[in-house]
Amino acid sequence: MKPKHQRLTLAVAALATVIGAGLLAVSALSDRAAYFYSPADLAKAKPAPDAAIRLGGMVADKSIVHEADGVTIRFVVEDGAFKTPVQFKGIVPDLFKEKSGVVAEGKLGADGVFVATNILAKHDENYKPPQMAGSEHKTESLAR
């Protein structure tokens, strides 16, 4: 075999290896990928019934309802024009409240209710943890 053919064989083998690795990576990520939808996106085009998606928007004012079982919460996510009802069972983050940003991970049910399996609360850029709020300018002396 001529050196030219050996280099060509090596280049083809390297290219096949890179393509195979890329296909494996895409295959692995497709199981974990969740597309982000707003309520307007859900109103325009419904995702597949079993598709795991993320729903993002603002929690509508006075929409949070705690069910009698103590772990089920119903609320509405809105983006200004459209609203999507959400049901979640579990403990919500401390920052979860009305008129705040939220990202819910889950699936859209056939009845139009988004069944969330995880809730991520968003905060604005002025957020400070409760431990930090009000303690920035507090000076204390070790001397007694």
DSSP assignment of 118-135 equals: EEEE---TT---TTTTTT
Burial 92-105 (b: 16+ CB within 10 A, else e): beeebeeeebbbbb
**Banded pLDDT at 3 (limits 50, 70, 90):** confident
Half-sphere exposure of residue 42: CA atoms within 13 angstroms, side-chain side: 29
**For a pLDDT cut of 70, what percent of the chain falls above it?**
85
* Cβ atoms of 66 and 73 closer than 8 Å: yes
Give the separation between CA 47 and CA 49, rounded to whole angstroms.
6
Mean pLDDT of the chain: 86
At 52-90, the pLDDT tens digits run 899 999 999 999 999 999 899 999 999 988 999 999 999
**Banded pLDDT at 51 (limits 50, 70, 90):** confident
pLDDT at position 39 over 90: yes
The letter for the amino acid at 138 is K
Nearest Cα neighbor of 36 from 99, 104, 85 is: 104
Nearest Cα neighbor of 80 from 56, 53, 104 is: 56
What residues are paired with 119 via a beta bridge? 104
What number is the average pLDDT over the span 40-55? 87
What number is the average pLDDT over the span 81-105? 92
Listed in sequence order, the residues at least 6 apart from 109 whose beta carbon sits closer than 8 Å to its beta carbon are 49, 115
